[in-house]
Amino acid sequence: DEQDDDDTPAVGAVWNGGRGAGFRRRHRLFGPFALTSASVRSGWGCEELIEYFGRYAAQHGDADLALMGVKLMEIPDEPFIRFAGTLAESDRLEAFAAATVVLAPAPEENISLHVLEAFAAGTPVLANGRSDVLTYHCQRSNAGLYYADGDEFVECLRLLMNNAELRETMGRNGRRYVEERYSWPVVLEKYDELITAVAPRRGARGGAGRSRGGQGRPRRTRQGGNR
């Protein structure tokens, strides 16, 4: 009988307990891989990231780099790079779950939504240590590492790729961090607290304005005089 020798989807499903197997199949990622979801553009840390990952690949050669987002720069023709492009929301979430590690390379990151998405998916993060926002989330969550240079990047990535127990622990930490701070019930509760705190102060200011001097501002009559 004729047999199907293409067993790569099954191999891909082994990584991360089979999470995100569809994303892995579509982009031929059948082993460990790191994912970045920021726009692929110059000045956002992408060029440095590709250089650093190239060092890692040369030394260890056991992982790929998946680039997700809008392509706004030339991507080097490297065997370890997979370009996933811009994805629908459901595919983005699947990509975060499929990744072994999520990379956050922007040196001046102000909005860390993709880091929180990685935490929510239970995937550890490796971030650029020059970003105060990224290092803050990594430190507070215990769900990510950060690097200052290429040597630290290679060592941190090697540690995360080779230590499944560490990844699982950091993944649990990341989920808990998001649930405790950014889930809808928590956000709505914070809004309620803010409204409760602000409302009395606004009422007090309004009352003071109306009772200033015991009288309001005089009104003009149609003849131009004051009442």
What's the pLDDT at 192? 58
Tell me if 204 is assigned to some domain. Answer: no
Tell me if 28 is assigned to some domain. Answer: yes
CA torsion angle 126 163 157 87 (round to 10):
-60
Tell me if 139 is assigned to some domain. Answer: yes
Tell me if 1 is assigned to some domain. Answer: no
| Tokens 């459901």 found at | 90
Residues β-bridged to residue 83: 67
**What's the CATH code of the domain at 90?**
3.40.50.2000
pLDDT band at 6 (very low <50, low <70, confident <90, very high): very low
pLDDT digits (tens, 9 = 90+) for 76-91: 999 999 999 899 988 9
Please give the helix or strand (H or E) that residue 83 lies within, else none: strand 81-85
Q: What is the mean pLDDT of residues 169-190?
A: 82
pLDDT digits (tens, 9 = 90+) for 114-173: 999 999 999 999 999 999 999 999 999 999 999 999 999 999 999 999 999 999 999 999
Enter the tokens of residue 197: 């705190």
What's the pLDDT at 201? 60
Tell me if 130 is assigned to some domain. Answer: yes
Q: What is the mean pLDDT of residues 49-59?
A: 96
What's the pLDDT at 190? 55
* Model confidence at 187: pLDDT above 90: no
Tell me if 74 is assigned to some domain. Answer: yes
Contacts of 26 (CB under 8 A, 6+ apart): none
The three-point CA angle 147-153-157 to 5° equals 115
Would strands 64-68 and 81-85 be described as parallel, antiparallel, or unpaired? parallel
What's the pLDDT at 149? 97
Distance CA 63, CA 99 (A): 11
Tell me if 38 is assigned to some domain. Answer: yes
Enter the tokens of residue 174: 């990341």
The rounded percent of the chain whose pLDDT value lies above 70 is 73
CB 134, CB 104: distance < 8 Å: yes
* Model confidence at 10: pLDDT above 90: no
Distance CA 146, CA 156 (A): 8
Tell me if 210 is assigned to some domain. Answer: no
Residue numbers of the domain that contains 99: 8-181
Number of domains observed in the structure of the chain: 1
CB 66, CB 101: distance < 8 Å: no
What is the end-to-end Cα distance of the chain in Å, rounded? Answer: 105
